[in-house]
Structure 1
Amino acid sequence: MMALLEALSPLSAGVNGVLVLVSVLTSAVTAAIGVGGGLLMIMAMAQVMPAAALIPVHGMVQLGSNAGRVVLTWRHVDRALLAAFLPGVVLGALVAAWLLVRLPPGVLELCIAGFVFYSCWGPGLPKRALGRAGTLLAGALTTLLSSLVGASGPMVAAFIKQGTEGRLGKVATFSACLSAQHLTKAFVFGVAGFVFRDWLALMLAMVAAGFLGTWLGLRLLHRLSEQRFDTLFKWALTLLALRLAWLGVARLMGPAG
Structure 2
Amino acid sequence: MSHLALLPPDVSVWLFVLLAVVSFFTSGMTAAMGLGGGVALLAVMASVLPPAALIPVHGVIQLGSNVGRAVVQRRYVVWTLVLPFVIGSLIGAFVGGQTVVTLPGWLLKSVVGLFVLYATWAPKLKLGDLKPAAFGLGGAIATFLTMFVGASGPFVGALLAPKPIDRLQMVGTFAVCMTLQHGLKILAFGLLGFAFAPWIGLIAAMVATGFLGTLAGTRLLHRLPEATFRLAFKWLMTVLAAELLISTAWSLL
User: TM (normalized to structure 2)?
Assistant: 0.75
CA contact 2:127–2:158 (8 Å) conserved in 1: no
Alignment of 1:123-142 (within 5 A): 125-127=127-129, 130-142=130-142
Q: Does 1:25 align with 2:32?
A: no
Q: Does 1:8 align with 2:6?
A: yes
Q: Distance in 1 between matches of 2:218 and 2:144?
A: 29
The residue aligned with 2:184 is 184
CA contact 1:97–1:191 (8 Å) conserved in 2: no
Q: Distance in 2 between matches of 1:43 and 1:66?
A: 18
CA contact 2:111–2:148 (8 Å) conserved in 1: no
Q: Which amino acid aligns with 2:173?
A: T
Q: Does 1:53 align with 2:48?
A: no
The residue aligned with 1:94 is 94
User: TM (normalized to structure 1)?
Assistant: 0.74
Structure 1 pair 42–187 and aligned structure 2 pair: CA distance change class (3 A): same
1:113: how far off?
4.2
Gaps of 5+ in 2: none
Q: Which amino acid aligns with 2:18?
A: V
Structure 1 pair 164–34 and aligned structure 2 pair: CA distance change class (3 A): farther
1:37: how far off?
0.6
Q: Does 1:174 align with 2:174?
A: yes
The residue aligned with 1:64 is 64
Q: Distance in 1 between matches of 2:209 and 2:194?
A: 24
Q: Which runs of 4+ in 1 moved over 4 A?
A: 104-110, 116-120, 218-221, 254-257
1:36: how far off?
0.6
Q: Distance in 2 between matches of 1:76 and 1:219?
A: 25
Q: Distance in 2 between matches of 1:48 and 1:32?
A: 26
Alignment of 1:1-257 (within 5 A): 4=3, 6-10=4-8, 11-99=11-99, 109=114, 113=118, 117=122, 119-120=124-125, 125-127=127-129, 130-163=130-163, 165-217=165-217
Which stretch of the first structure deviates more once superposed, 82-91 or 93-102? 93-102
Q: Distance in 1 between matches of 2:165 and 2:196?
A: 37
How many residues matched?
232
Which stretch of the first structure deviates more once superposed, 146-155 or 37-46? 146-155
CA contact 1:20–1:209 (8 Å) conserved in 2: yes
1:85: how far off?
0.9
CA contact 1:66–1:179 (8 Å) conserved in 2: yes
1:203: how far off?
0.7
1:195 is paired with a residue of what secondary structure? coil
Gaps of 5+ in 1: 224-228
1:163 is paired with a residue of what secondary structure? coil
